[in-house]
Structure 1
């Protein structure tokens, strides 16, 4: 029987549950897979969806489940998109609405996985939310059929539509034949009065596609916000496809010739998270990077001196809601990836499977640690080098592989002792500054990266910061110059090429010793946070702060770690932004599998 929820139009029946793995055939009907529900419900600020022109700073309950009808390379939410339903963790729509009301949320929003994979579930949620006076919306690839969209458009108040590109080729890369349904649906939603914002991933080389998308959106309405996400290679895609923040900023300037409001995400320190007047270009709203997919207000003005106003729907909250620890969907996925990273080093790997679904062992461990109390505990453990060892032992215990956990802990502990001895013997402590993406975006004082600096005998000037934020806060050039760090480290996650970094230092008037002596260091990818490779990052930092004292060949040390815990040599590994493992450059069988509609 054909499923008509999305334009993939899978045949459902027998053993087939469709591409998204979420539907079954029951007689003459297609139904949601039995037991399907939401894996989590966490209050977030609406900017984390992300939506920037809708109830600014409003508190919404974010929900997510499993499954997706697309197969996008480098998907940051692959662990959810490719997972099967987890009945044991399922929350039903009535429970979600009750939670939203209890926590004084304005509404509910489905994110992280594709709502087309849970359409009947989401439809039920939207109806129940409306009955209680709540707003309802989602982030989606918007590949719905016309008949589905006609119904859905009557139920939702807002959507973030993720556009993959303008050409059919860009959609073929995600396993579907055409881009036409997306632009058709976007136009229909706008005409129906649904608040829509769009997002698109920018990878190096697809600049023409980006321009064509902006032109197509402008034809519907130039007031529809366009959010640009820099492509980050989480999976098997090469690092060369990741544009620098500077390259993305230049592209955004070109896109503004077509649409009125263009925003640049996952780029700490950029000024392009702000809103500028579409008539005269004056800055009206200043925002700073809050997390991978979020932002927060610094300064707000909706009306320009020239008389032009920003089209924002809904009231602005008096106080911006801020989540703690891993308590929102994006950071829950980050916590999942951290668990995944340790399990990979313990030789429990999803790439050994021939099946498309995630490893049952991984999901079993996730069930054991995904309650709120344990997630808060994990957040604390993963910020300190020594307590991270407790995190490894926790995961190894839940996975029933304590001996393998002990081997990993032993490797890390022996290197910790080496670093601590060097720090104790070398009296020449250097001041260091840790930033992410921009010299003006400082990582928070309590984060793991700054604790690595302290453990290696450095003096982290970030510890002077009182401001809180995730994962950091904007600082002034004066802060850096006054504390005068002798070394600057750029985060390995959202980084910036050294040539761009030095250019920004000149632009901002940063003249600390680290800049003058060219002692700014880009930490190797995934070596300082989120996975056990931070021990290599610690050795890297120690070598820079204590030149000639480490007595370890870092390449040989990396080879040792990679062979023991990834089964490959360091020089054979392709760097990526994934927490769980570097890429071998060979796609696992389950990642290459073609799912037939």
Structure 2
């Protein structure tokens, strides 16, 4: 039998469950896999989905399950989306979801992480029950439904965020399907049916023309439909070269505004393009800040929908008087990240083959980890474990025991423990540096309690981030005066979401940041996942300690990296290929050879230049060229 849920139209019989892996046939009809339910349900602000023009700051119960009909390279939700349902999984039924939504006083329910295409009948059941209780219903979806399914779908959803892979058929073939046309057809039909529609598009390096065509095509439906530009963060097998810088992503947004009134930029800490500006006069109407990848939050509640010029901004639904802000790992995206952190440990234990990983994950003991990771109490426990160096060792032991790999786990713990003692002895003599840790932008500070700031403290540095009282999901926006007043001597840029140093110094100049770290060129990019999310943080700790105690660490950083990569990834450090995955071995340009830039007058390479300052990567440290800097103060 052919499945009619989506345009892939899989053949499903007693030997096949289709691409989603969640449907079965009884010989006469296609059914949802027996016992399938939702793996998590967490209250979030609607901006975290993200939806920006729908019930601003409204509290919704975010749910997710398993399976997906697409196979996108670089998927940030690869683990839950590519997994298959199992009788070993504990899950929540639609009625249990509705009960939670009512108990937690949510406005509605929203399905994210994996696509509701993969659990359509489950989602339909949830939607029907939600409507009976006057709850709103929505989802984030690739919207690859067939026309007949979409007609039904459009009658039981109130809002959607449609993730568009691109305008061309090629962009969809990269995700394992044939055409882009069904998505634009379905967006148009949902809009005509009165469903609140917002759209998202992935922007990777070199995809400018394709993204502009997406905006042009959406504008043919309505110029009022918001477009969320998702700066591509390569994970899985996607190469780091596909990641545009925050600055590159910011440059494309004005071109998109020629077609659409409301264009927003995500995955870009510190950007001002999460704000809503009046399409008529350009006035700032709503200010938002980065909350997490694919999420944002309002800086202050929405009080007016009308600009001073008289233009009315198309928001639907009542705005909440204050924003709901989830804590720790308590939301669907962070749960996916928790799975990624488990994956990162398993990789270091020797599970390097993805198929083997999925086989192990399906066994009873690691399925127990899956179930526990979805549990709020375990999420809180994991959140606390991964914030401090020594407690992270408990996290490794927990995962290793569940995977029956305790011996290999002890090897990893022992390796980390030996280096911790080296840094601990060094930090007994406190560093004289005030240290600032940011993510992507100089004005986006990492939360005080995060692992990165604890690595600074462990190394003997004085983290000025610890002075921050306000908390966000990953961090919070700060003023230039906060940085200047504390005058950090060293600034680290997070290895999770970073920004090239030329852009970073240019922003410091723009914002008037003249702290010692900036004027003396002591700003350092941490390599991907060397400070959070992966056991590689031990290398990040050594790197941080070396910068805070110049010449005193007493270890060869390159040898340490090689030893770690050989022992736990089976490859040399320089052979590894980087991206944003926690589990994937990464290297790229060694931090000591990063290009340095002028602060006030930056001599940028001419267009078309092929000069690469990272070409000296294989030279000994003492033979690396010294790039002199001029400072105009």
TM-score range, shorter-chain basis?
over 0.9
CA distance in 1 between counterparts of 2:8 and 2:360 reads 20
Q: Shift in Å at residue 310 of structure 1? A: 0.9
CA distance in 2 between counterparts of 1:394 and 1:428 reads 33
Q: Which residue of 2 aligns with 1:517?
A: 520
Contact 1:348 1:362 survives alignment (8 Å): no
- Match for residue 550 of structure 1 among 534, 550, 553: 553
Q: Which residue of 1 aligns with 2:166?
A: 165
Residues 406-428 of structure 1 deviation map (CA, whole Å, 9 limit, x = unaligned) = 11111111101111111124x54
With structure 2 as the length reference, what TM-score do the two structures score?
0.90
Q: Which residue of 2 aligns with 1:247?
A: 248
Q: Shift in Å at residue 342 of structure 1? A: 1.3
Q: Shift in Å at residue 381 of structure 1? A: 1.2
Contact 2:338 2:373 survives alignment (8 Å): no
CA distance in 1 between counterparts of 2:408 and 2:370 reads 18
Residues 28-55 of structure 1 deviation map (CA, whole Å, 9 limit, x = unaligned) = 1011111111111111111111100001
Where does structure 2 lack aligned partners over 5 or more consecutive residues?
Answer: 589-633
Contact 2:574 2:587 survives alignment (8 Å): no
SS of the aligned residue for 2:160 comes to: strand
Task: Tell me the C-alpha RMSD between the 2 structures.
Answer: 1.6
Deviates more, 1:286-295 or 1:152-161: 286-295
Where does structure 1 lack aligned partners over 5 or more consecutive residues?
Answer: 586-597
Contact 2:83 2:358 survives alignment (8 Å): no
Q: Which residue of 1 aligns with 2:274?
A: 273
Query: Across the two proteins, how many residue pairs are aligned to each other?
Result: 584
Q: Which residue of 2 aligns with 1:413?
A: 417
SS of the aligned residue for 2:287 comes to: strand
Q: Which residue of 2 aligns with 1:178?
A: 179
SS of the aligned residue for 1:210 comes to: helix
Q: Which residue of 2 aligns with 1:335?
A: 338
- Match for residue 401 of structure 2 among 378, 397, 402: 397
SS of the aligned residue for 1:234 comes to: coil
Q: Which residue of 2 aligns with 1:573?
A: 576
Q: Shift in Å at residue 402 of structure 1? A: 2.1
Q: Shift in Å at residue 303 of structure 1? A: 1.4
Q: Which residue of 1 aligns with 2:74?
A: 74
Counterparts in 2 of 1:428 and 1:491: CA distance versus 1, 3 Å: closer
CA distance in 1 between counterparts of 2:210 and 2:70 reads 19
SS of the aligned residue for 2:508 comes to: helix
1:366 and 2:367 correspond: no
List aligned pairs for 1:250-265, cutoff 5 A.
250-265=251-266
CA distance in 2 between counterparts of 1:501 and 1:316 reads 35
CA distance in 1 between counterparts of 2:81 and 2:335 reads 14
Q: Which residue of 1 aligns with 2:37?
A: 37
Counterparts in 2 of 1:451 and 1:419: CA distance versus 1, 3 Å: same
List aligned pairs for 1:44-123, cutoff 5 A.
44-87=44-87, 88-123=89-124
Residues 175-228 of structure 1 deviation map (CA, whole Å, 9 limit, x = unaligned) = 111000000000000000000000011000000000000000000000000001
Deviates more, 1:392-401 or 1:492-501: 392-401
Contact 2:14 2:26 survives alignment (8 Å): no
List aligned pairs for 1:72-471, cutoff 5 A.
72-87=72-87, 88-299=89-300, 300=302, 301-351=304-354, 353=356, 360=363, 362-425=366-429, 427-471=430-474
Q: Which residue of 2 aligns with 1:595?
A: none
Q: Which residue of 2 aligns with 1:590?
A: none
Q: Shift in Å at residue 359 of structure 1? A: 5.1
Q: Shift in Å at residue 403 of structure 1? A: 1.9
Contact 1:568 1:584 survives alignment (8 Å): no
CA distance in 2 between counterparts of 1:476 and 1:123 reads 46
Contact 2:573 2:587 survives alignment (8 Å): no
CA distance in 2 between counterparts of 1:48 and 1:363 reads 28
CA distance in 2 between counterparts of 1:129 and 1:476 reads 43
Counterparts in 2 of 1:355 and 1:376: CA distance versus 1, 3 Å: closer
Q: Shift in Å at residue 362 of structure 1? A: 4.2
With structure 1 as the length reference, what TM-score do the two structures score?
0.96
CA distance in 1 between counterparts of 2:299 and 2:375 reads 33
